[in-house]
Structures are given as C-alpha cells and as structure tokens.
Structure 1
Amino acid sequence: MDFIHGKIRPIYFKYLAAAFGSALVTSIYSIVDMAMVGQYQGPDGTAALAVVAPIWNIIYSLGLLMGIGGAVIFSTIKGQGSQKDDEAGEVFTVSVIGSILLALLSWLVIVVFDQPLLTFFGAKKNLLPLGLSYLKPIQFVVPCFLFNQMLAAYLRNDNDPALATAGVLSGGIFNIFGDYVFVFVFDMGIYGAGLATAIGAVISTLVMLTHFLKKSNTLKLVRPKHFMARLSQITVTGFSTFFIDVAMGILTILFNRQIMKYLGTNALSVYGIIVNVSTFVQCCAYSVGQAAQPIISVNFGAHQPQRIQEVLKYALMSVAFFSLLWTALSLFAPMLFVCIFMTPTPEIMKIAPWIIRCYGLSFLLLPFNIFSTYYFQAILKPRSAFIVSVSRGLVISGVLILILPLINPNALWLAMVLTEIIVAIYAGVSMIKYTCHLSTQ
C-alpha cells in the first residue's frame, strides 16, 4: 500500500478493519475471562479480576511504549525515502532491545511480588487467593503479552496489518474456547481462565513472528549507533500511549480503594463490569488511532498536509460512531452488560443500572480523547499528547475520584464524565491549531 500516493479512503478503512479486529480480540481476552469466571464463581470472581486488571494495564502499556513510540518514528523516517532504511532499522532494533529489558523487569516484579501487588491493588480476604490463582499460569509467559503489543504496532507500520490481526485473533479464539473448556469442562475455575489466556498469548506471538519470514518485511535488526538517544526519542514519543494504559491501572486502583471505602463489595463487582466495558471502548479508540497513525506519520514525513487532513476526517467519523454506540448501550441496556459478566444477585440488580448509566456518559468523549493522543504523536507533538494522557489518566481524574465521594459517595461515578469533558476541550482546541499549521510547515 502506497501511503503517499494511494487513495486515502480505502487504505484507512482497510487499516481500521485490521486494527479494530486486533483491538476487539485483545479486549475479548479480559471480557471472556470476566464472563466465564463471573458465571463460575459469582461476584467474588468478577471482583477478583477487577483487582488483577491493573497488572494487564502495566504489561500492555510497556509494549505500547516501545511499539507505538518506535513505530511512529519508523514510519516518519520511511516517509522521507529509501535512503533512510538503515536509520529506520536502528529505531526498530532499539525498540526490540527496550522491549526485552522491560519484559524482564516486569516479569521479575510480577513473579516475585504477586501477592503484595494484588494487595496494593485492593485485594482483601477471599479476593486475594482468587487473584493469585488466576495469575499463576500467566506468570510463565509475561513477556509474550508485552511483545505482542510491540510487534503488532510495527507490523501495522510495515504494511502487514492483516498479520497483526491474525496473530491477535488466533490467540483470542483459543482463549474463548480454552476458557470454557478449562473453567467448566475441566472444572479449573479462575485458574483455568488464566491458563487459557497464557496459552493464547503464546499463540499470538508465534503467529506474528512469521512476518520476519516474508519477502515484504522491512523490519531489520542493525547495530544501533546512538542507542540511548534513540531510546529516549522512542520513550518520549510513545509515553502518551503508554500512560493511557498505565493510567487505566492507576484509576482502577483508586476506584477500587474508594469503592471499598464508601460503597462496598457489590459496587466493586459492578465496577469490575465497567472496567471491562471501558476497556472495550478504549480498544475501539485504539483501533482508530492505530489505523490513522501509520498513514499520518508517513505523510507527515513526506510533507503532505492535505492527505493528513483527509485521514483526520475519516478518523473523527469513526470516533463519533464508537462514541454514540457505547454511550447508547450504556444508557439503554445496562443490564445486558451485567448478565454477560455474572449471574446477578438482587443487590447487584438494584444498583447496577444507575451506576453503569452514570459512568457510561464518559464514553461519549473517551474515544476522541484517546484518538487525539495518537494524532498528536503521529505529527510529532508529544507535549500535547502528554498533557491529554496525564490529565485524563491521573491529574484531573485522580483529584475528582478522591474529592467527589466526600460530597456524596455516589458522585464517584461522575469522576470520569467530568474528566473527559475537561480534557476534550483542550484536545479539540489543540487539534484544530496543529492541523491548521500543517500546511505552513
């Protein structure tokens, strides 16, 4: 596919289909686990997986840090011509080395400090053994989850989005059937869900590695001449995408603690559902950003502002569709989510609809805010991407999560609604400014 001269519309929607498939199956990992465990072990199982959720956020975010950060620079260099191939290879090599280092570090922390981590994330009493049981098989393959994110980003930027989707899809399909077999047929419960997820991750990695056997592969390992400078450049560029996932883990910890303090275990079970739905919405936003980013980055390197603006138009249309879809489902069918993830008790049925409707209002602006970080990264405006990701993921949201329950415990569910509104104002103004300035660069 020719990003610089080809027709934007078919290229964008081909990439969107591939990116959406990857995002869809990635979210299915956690959704299927939550649904199967919730049906097998009830609200406690759902609450236990809500406690484990921050660990996923950390692992995935580290893969995105090296993957998206490196792939943006890789594509921008590619847009400048074939004479820059060695430079692009250097960026890919540094991303691989950085991923290995981060994988080893995260692996060590999760294996050695699993119990303190879960306790810190809000696990208490009967939730801790459940969380540890789920993590046990996953501990053996932690690096695979990180490398899947990094490889998928580079495959999309190396004109192979279909393989990135196939890799995630193959692991996801196994996870779906494996969950049922291990959890119910083999009666393994929450441990079986973790085992299916672990095996699925290994399958995904093996499928994506076949890209390096193709003649079309341009991802080459070279000896980096400026390792630390490149690593710093990749880290700065990818930090915003990295922090989006880290922030989701931070917010989950804050919500877990505040919910247990003010609202109790039933509310935490409902929040476990919201975490998974929100992950799904977030993955839809990722798919738009991941579809647009390679095209925008290459055309930014080639100084083609009109083509960037055309990609932006289609991306914003996609964002609007996902925003309306998920907000509507939250408002008009909240019990659909509850019944998917657990067999609800009378207490859950009483509180869940209002909580989901209230929190679901944030889905109206969440996709736009996340997409904006990809857009700012693609045109090499990491400062704005940083402001958006940190504001919505920690600063504004964190303050509201801590303060709102002091006014009224149930006001906690409005924290993300207010956060997304404030952040969207800044992101929209910045997007208009930078887009208008593209033609003058």
Structure 2
Amino acid sequence: MRSRHLFSRFAQYVSLNILGMLGLSCYILADTFFVAKALGAFGLAALNFSISIYSLIHGAGLLLGVGGATRYRIHTAQKNIEMGRRGYGTTVKIGALAGGAFLLLGLLGTSGLARLLGADASTLPLTVTYLRTIFVFAPFFILNNILLAFVRNDGNPALAMKAMLFGSFSNILLDYLLMFPLNLGMFGAAFATGLAPILSIIVMVLHLRRSPGLRGSLNLAPQWKLLPDFLDLGMSSFILEISSAAVLMVTNRVILKISGNFGVAAYGIVANLALVGMALFAGLAQGVQPLVSSAHGKKQNEEIRKLQRYAVASALLLSFVLFGIVLGYRESIVEAFNGQGNAVVGQMAEEGLLLYFLGFFLVGYNILEATFASATENTQEAFRISLLRGFLFILPLILLLGRFYGMKGVWLSFILTEALVLLLTAEGKLRHRQSQKRGLVLGSSPVDETWNGG
C-alpha cells in the first residue's frame, strides 16, 4: 500500500510538472516559430544570439527558487515552519534585487553585449531589440521561477502547472497578435515573452495568500545568512541553465566560422527544439525533487531509492518517445521552423536534430543524478555533475570537433559529453559502493549517503 501511494504521488508531481515545463518551454519555441515566419534566417540567428541571456536570467531564478524551495521543503518535513517562512521571504527579496541588477544592465545599453554574442551588421538591430526588452522583464522572470518552486514545494504542483501553462499559452497568442496583426517584429516577440511570467505570477497569488507556510512571510526581516545555503542547494539547477547559455555563445561563434548565419539559424532550430526535450527532463527532475527532499528530511532512505527507480525508468521512456518523434517527423518539424524554406538551413537542421536527440538517451539520467544529489543535500556531487556536463567537457569538445568535423562535430559534442559524464558518475558510484563494503568488512559504520550509494 505504501509503495502504491508513493508511486501515485510520484506520478502526480512528475506529470503535472512535466506538463508545466512543456508549456514553459514554448516561450522560446513560439518565438522561434513566429520569428522564422516573420523575419527569416536573420531573425532566427538574432534570436539564437539572444537566448543565452534569457537562459542566464532564467538560471538566476532557478538558482534562488530551487535552492530556497528545497530548504523550505526540508524544514516543513521536519515541522520547522518558522524557518521555512523566513527562507521564503528572504528568497523573494534577493530575487527582486537580482532582477533589478539585470534591469539596470538592460538600461545601460545592449549593443556591446549583442556584438559579444556574435551579432553582425545583418543581425545587430534585431538582437539589440530582443535583448533590451528581455532585460526590462528580468525581475518578473526571476520572481516567477522562485514562486513556481515554492508553490510546488508547498504541496500544490497542480497550481504550478496551471501557472506555467497559462503563461506559456498566453505567450503564444500574444506572439501572433504582436508580430502579425500589429506588425511589431522582434520587439513583439520579446514583449510577448516578457508578459508571460507576469500572467503566471497572477495565477499563483491566491495560493501565496492562503498558504500557512507562505502567507505573511514577506513581512519578516530577510535573513541574509541563509543565502549561501540556498545558493548551494540551487547551484546544480543554475549550472544546468547557465551552461546552456555558455554553450550557445561558444557554439554560435564556432558555427559562424563554419557556416555563417545560415548555420546559426539551423542551430537555432535544433537548439530551441532541444529546449523542449530538456524541459521534459527538467520537469521530471523538478517534479520528483520535493518528494526526495521530504523523504530525506524524514530520513526515509528506502523511499528515496524507490523514487530513483521510478525517475530513471520515466527518463528512459521519455527518451524513446522524443527520438521516435524526431526520427519519424524531422523533415516536417524543420519545415515548420524554416520560415523562408532555405534549403541549406533545412538540410543542416535535419541532420542536427537526429544526432542531437540521440544524446537524450543519456541526458535524462545525468540530470536526475544532479537533482537527487542536491535534494539530499549532497551538493558537492550535484555541483560536480553539473560542472562536468555544462562546461568542462562540452565546451572543449565543441571547439575541437567543430574544427575538424564541421557541423557534424558540433552535434556530436553533445552526445559525447553526456556519455563521458554518465561513465564518470557510474564509476564514482561503483567506487563508493566498494568503499562501503570495505568499511563493513573492517567493522566500521559507513556514513549513509543514499543517493551516492544508489
């Protein structure tokens, strides 16, 4: 009975969060579709240059939201409600300060940043327009991510899903209205994306006012000493997001030398479609995180192991579904986002989709490794996995393989990165098990590290 109840809760949290994250990923996917139709390859290239900054802002919200909400869930599982309330209030106020910093950066000027990201004379005006608008809405992006994490960890994953979906579907509708009937071009795309988190926040307000654990917490004095703990717990989520920004910037630079703006446009199609796949795995990870943190707070190690098995099986199923869709429909998918029917862009994007999505058979497991480690306060392991995936392997591989194998090398760098991370993580867990067995043979009592022990 207990196992069935646990699986039921797992299915509820994960399915709701995957649906929400799927909707959230449509922020950029809708922009990609409508920008391709309205502005063609140069618009796609400009959007792709800008996405790295969106990822940076989004990552800042995840860093604070996931970190603060994870500690909140552990506190509430241990009946320490007052510390949970103070943590929530502190997280929101720090998020507001971070959003203000991004807003100031946008007001000071974005032309230099756009050039640094790779924009040239053909794409600079479009890139600057998108960046400047996104920076203005940065406080809302960050606050939305914080509130989504706390609402989910406060036992209301259904509302978090509804908020994400409402914001995302509103974005799609606004994208169309602003870019076509109103003919606002790139500004319309960015403005629609910026309004989406505001609408999402409105959906969550009622829960925030009624929740005993969250209501009135913003009136408490912020506890700045809590910040390092929140950053520690949220770091793996931040690195996951910020690394995508770094990879995007480096890859754009490499591709510009290989295939010019058409190559960047093709990569933009693949990367933005891959965001949907990554969002599904992130939804799985973020959905199971509250359950893992709660079980960890109550020291229910067997439940954590069961949740691990459920999550890994779900990740494998998602991988088969995603790759099957790409294998069967990649031509139609690329055609939908290749707005002006550019044959060069289409050919590169089709090959990229097939190779890139092969990596999803590995990426889900690696994301879950980092998430479980963070949710059980094993932050060093979470940081190590995220750092290996996000920077230490993939950036050198893109530079190396791109130089020798062109666009094919760029696509293959993602697969090779995930394979190397999985092998190193598995080897580390094997060594941990062996050290535990040696400890038992010698009569010592090894420290229980549920996730590392796997």
Q: Is the 8 A contact 1:136 1:191 kept in 2?
A: no
Deviates more, 1:37-46 or 1:210-219: 210-219
Determine the structure 2 residue equivalent to 1:53.
Answer: 51
Deviation at residue 191 of structure 1 after TM alignment: 1.8
1:351 and 2:348 correspond: yes
Measured in 1, the distance between the counterparts of 2:410 and 2:395 equals 11
2:405 is the alignment partner of 1:408: yes
Alignment of 1:76-95 (within 5 A): 76-80=74-78, 82=79, 84-95=80-91
- Decide whether the 8 Å contact of 1:331 with 1:360 is kept in 2: no
Contact 1:66 1:99 in 2 (8 A): yes
2:395 equivalent in structure 1: 398
SS of equivalent to 2:393: helix
TM-score normalised by length of structure 1: 0.93
Q: Which residue of 2 aligns with 1:244?
A: 240
Letter in 2 for 1:124: D
- Please state how far the C-alpha of 1:183 moved relative to its aligned partner: 1.0
Q: Do residues 233 (structure 1) and 229 (structure 2) align?
A: yes
Matched, 1:327 2:323: yes
Judged with a 3 Å threshold, the aligned counterparts in structure 2 of structure 1 residues 79 and 217 are, in CA distance, closer, same or farther, namely closer
- Aligned match for 1:198, one of 194, 199, 204: 194
* Deviation of the 1:253 alpha carbon: 0.2
Residues 1:159 and 2:155 are matched in the alignment: yes
Q: Pick closer, same or farther for the CA change 1:5–1:404 going to 2, 3 Å.
A: closer
Partner of 2:439: none
CA distance in 2, matches of 1:241, 1:257: 25
Q: Does 1:341 align with 2:337?
A: yes
Matches of 2:322 and 2:32, distance apart in 1: 19
Q: CA–CA distance in 2 between the matches of 1:137 and 1:438? A: 45
SS in 2 for 1:333: helix
Looking at structure 2, the residues matched to 226 and 192 of structure 1 have their Cα atoms a distance apart, in angstroms, of: 39
Which runs of structure 2 are paired with 1:288-299 in the superposition (5 Å)? 288-299=284-295
CA distance in 1, matches of 2:424, 2:76: 31
Given that residues 55 and 241 in structure 2 are in contact (C-alpha distance below 8 angstroms), is that contact kept between their aligned partners in structure 1?
yes
Could you report, residue by residue, the CA deviation over 1:127-168 in whole angstroms, capped at 9, with x for unpaired residues? 111122234443432210111111101111001112211222
Q: 1:46 touches 1:341 (CA, 8 Å); kept in 2? A: no
Contact 1:34–1:49 at 8 Å: present in 2 too?
yes
The one-letter code sitting in structure 2 at the alignment partner of 1:438 is T
- The aligned residue for residue 384 of structure 1 is 381
Mapped to 1, the partners of 2:219 and 2:300 lie a distance apart of 29
For residues 245 and 398 of structure 1, the distance between their equivalents in structure 2, rounded to whole angstroms, comes to: 15
Q: Report if the CA contact (8 A) 1:183-1:190 is conserved.
A: yes
Deviation by residue 1:387-437 (Cα, 9 ceiling, x = unmatched)? 111111111101111112232223222111100001112334556758984
Paired AA for residue 203 in structure 1 = L
Aligned to 1:142: 138
* Structure 2 residues without counterparts, runs of 5 or longer: 437-447
TM-score normalized by the length of structure 2: 0.90
The separation in 2 between residues aligned to 1:428 and 1:314, in whole angstroms, is 18
Residue 371 of structure 1: aligned partner? 368
Aligned-residue identity in percent: 26
Q: 1:215 to 1:239 in 2, by over 3 A?
A: closer
Match for residue 281 of structure 1? 277
Matched, 1:64 2:76: no
Match of 1:39 among 21, 32, 37: 37
Shift of 1:177: 1.0
Report deviation, 1:212.
Answer: 1.8
Structure 1: distance between partners of 2:185 and 2:244: 26
* Superposition RMSD in Å: 2.3
Q: Is the 8 A contact 1:46 1:269 kept in 2?
A: yes
Aligned residues: 435
Give me the whole-angstrom Cα distance separating, in 1, the residues matched to 2:206 and 2:107. Answer: 29
Letter in 2 for 1:293: Q
